[in-house]
Amino acid sequence: MDQTLIARYAPGGDLYDQYQASYGKAGADAIYAAAQTGEKTAVTDAIVKQKYGNDLQTSTAIIFGEQVATDPLAAPLAAADTFTTNTLKSLFSSWTVWVVVIIAGVALFLYMGGSSRVKGVLAK
């Protein structure tokens, strides 16, 4: 990279002003510092870093460790919430409720002595 191009990335240069408008002074300064290295890909890497941020982790172990360290109950609570929601939806959105209510009613009737009352009424 020649000095003319590096001067365009310097404060006061047209590229510096363009990047300062997009990424702020710190972003433009980081791109200028990359241009001063003279490496072919340094400027592109600096622009990509300013535009998209740092690279995300690709290691499953590191991602898992960060999740456990920052919010260890997020996944188990989400799974429990989904399980509970699905269970309640399936329980209360079908005929199962009516079967349970009828069984409970019959059991309560028998517990309160309903069978002897029925025998008494039928014996008359």
> Residue 15: which of 36, 38, 33, 31 has the closest Cα?
31
Write down the pTM of the prediction.
0.47
Q: What three-state secondary structure class fits 112?
A: coil
16-42 confidence digits (pLDDT tens): 999 999 999 999 999 999 999 988 899
CB 9 within 8 A of CB 32: yes
Long-range own/partner contacts, residues 47-56 (CB < 8 A, 24 or more apart): 47/19, 50/19, 50/22, 50/23, 51/23
Instruction: Compute the mean pLDDT over every residue in the chain, rounded to the nearest whole number.
Output: 86
What span, in angstroms and rounded, lies between the C-alpha atoms of 26 and 10?
13
- pLDDT above 80: residue 49: yes
